[in-house]
Amino acid sequence: MLIEIKDVTKTIKKALILDRVSLEFKGGLIYGLQGPNGSGKTMLMRLVAGLILPTKGEVLIDGKRLGRDIDFPPSLGLLIENPAFLPGYTGKRNLELLAELQNRVGEKEICQAIRDAGLDPEDKRKYRKYSLGMKQRLGIAAAIMEKPDILLLDEPTNALDEGGVEEICGLIRRERDRGALVIVACHDRDLLEGLADEIYTVAEGRVERRQP
């Protein structure tokens, strides 16, 4: 798996969001994007996901250009900003409905993803009754359940206590170890230093690799 971002600029309503960004991401690694809110981290992840297209430049997924050859990466899991699910259904039922869109996984894989994220697949509570931490965990379960080639996680440890952070970091490492290309956006520098194989700083739409 290879993602190539080539001289990408993104403007929205004349505001410069990403400024001449060129990057390569390869499978089997965790990439960290570190920077304050509004720096461009989330927009960069949206770009990789095909949710927005560059104003200038191009994004290639294994040599195929987003927006021309393909609309979205063919194997993608993502958690961008706050997770949102149907409030009147259980966590498991929400994931079942999502899984039906592509029919790549069944009940066994869905239940395992829920457990891996630290939840109980047999929990009968509706999503509306979930705590913020449980909602975050369900969002992560949704992102990993199809074992995607590309995994994009925006602030994945939000609303989690210290034990939950360690648990989710372990899960992210396991996703990398099975070969996934993982990109994690986070404002917490210390967390990324303990998690990511490579770290990029994002500021005012510019992206630079942090030297070890």
- Where the chain has pLDDT below 70, the residues are 211-212
Q: pLDDT per residue over 107-130, tens digit each? A: 999 999 999 999 999 999 999 999
**What local confidence, expressed as pLDDT, does residue 128 receive?**
96
| Sheet with 56-61, side-by-side order of all strands | 15-26, 2-12, 56-61, 64-65
Tally of CB atoms within 10 A around 103: 7
Query: Which CATH architecture best describes the domain 1-75+148-212?
Result: 3-Layer(aba) Sandwich (3.40)
CA dihedral 179, 76, 120, 175 (to 10 degrees): 10
**What local confidence, expressed as pLDDT, does residue 39 receive?**
85
Residue 30 main-chain phi, psi, to 5 deg: -105, 125
pTM, rounded to two decimals? 0.94
Tally of CB atoms within 10 A around 106: 10
**What local confidence, expressed as pLDDT, does residue 26 receive?**
97
**What local confidence, expressed as pLDDT, does residue 212 receive?**
53
Q: Give the residue range(s) of CATH 3.40.50.300 domains in the chain.
A: 1-75+148-212
- Helix H or strand E encompassing 61: strand 56-61
